[in-house]
Amino acid sequence: MFALRLCLVMALGGLTTMVSAANTHQAHASAGSEISGHVELVANPGQALAAGEVSDTLVYFVPKSGKVKVRPGTYTVYSVDQDFRPAAMAIPAGSTVKFANLDQVLHNLYSSTPGSVFNYQFQKVGEVLSHRFTQPGPVLVSCNVHHFMELDLLVIPTPYMSAVAADGSFVLRGLPAGPGTLYAWNPRGALKSQPVGALEREVSMQLVAIKPRVTTELNQDGQR
């Protein structure tokens, strides 16, 4: 089970799509403000970090005022060998996630996260169930049949986002003027936020890895 959750294939595929979409979005963004900085990922006692693992991190900016337009999409999570694949995913608010049961056993899908509560009871073999996520923030999806199955989902309410490079650096371009909040999320730890002033353009944040590494997709490109 842990060997599967440490697999990097889907994570790399999701990150490639994420970075490509970020470059496209920023290339077409109108001239605006810019925030750059550095994210440090450190290990809690009992955890270990691989080189460049900070690149599984997503940063995003939420303006304090004004409307933002988010591009929701459709994504798929698979139940395989009694495990969610990917085990962590970031999606734009309003997106739909399809849950496909590829196992030969019944599963259950539920969330008790405030604002994102649902319970689909028993999911048949081969059945695909869909749920739309609108409440921003982390959502924990679990299986009531197999309690060790967990999906860490992050719902993002803004188009201003970017993957973090392997050296921890990041740049957000085309931002609206004014203050806001910068968020950083790595599936091995908690979502962290930091207020950013109107004139503050250089930000450093530290995240703590408190969980094992899992397959991760950081999505912001709409349809998958």
How confident is the model at residue 147, as a pLDDT?
85
Which residues constitute the domain of residue 144?
2-218
Is-cis flag, bond preceding 212, omega within 30?
Answer: no
How many residues does this entry show for the chain? Answer: 224
**Read out DSSP for 124-165?**
PTT-EEEEEE-S-EEEEEE-SSSTT-EEEEEEE--S-EEEPP
pLDDT reported for residue 145: 86
The pLDDT value recorded for residue 155 is 97
Q: Does residue 223 belong to any structural domain of this protein? A: no
Global pTM value: 0.81
For residue 23, tell me if it sits in a domain.
yes
- Counting as low any pLDDT under 70, the low residues of the chain are 1-31, 220-224
Instruction: Confirm whether 31 is domain-assigned.
Output: yes
Q: How many distinct structural domains can be found in the chain?
A: 1
Residue 46 maps to a domain: yes
Looking at the domain assignment, is residue 78 inside a domain? yes
Q: Which two tokens stand for residue 173?
A: 């371009």
Residue 220: the pLDDT is 54
Q: Which tens digit of pLDDT belongs to each residue from 116-141?
A: 999 998 999 999 999 999 999 999 99
Asked if residue 14 belongs to a domain, the reply is: yes
The answer to whether position 224 is within a domain reads no
Q: List, as one string, the DSSP characters of 47-66.
A: ----TTGGGG-EEEEEESSS
Q: Which of 167, 145, 178, 183 is nearest to 64 (CA)?
A: 178
Answer whether 165's CB lies under 8 Å from 183's CB: no
* pLDDT at site 156: 97
Q: How far is CA 219 from CA 10, 20, 75, 89, 123, in A?
A: 12, 10, 9, 7, 25
pLDDT given for residue 200 in this prediction? 85
- Judge whether 84 lies within some domain: yes
**Residue 25 corresponds to which amino acid?**
H
pLDDT of residue 151: 95
Please, which residues have CB within 8 angstroms of residue 71's CB and are 6 or more apart in sequence? 92, 159, 220, 221, 222
Domain CATH for 19: 2.60.40.420
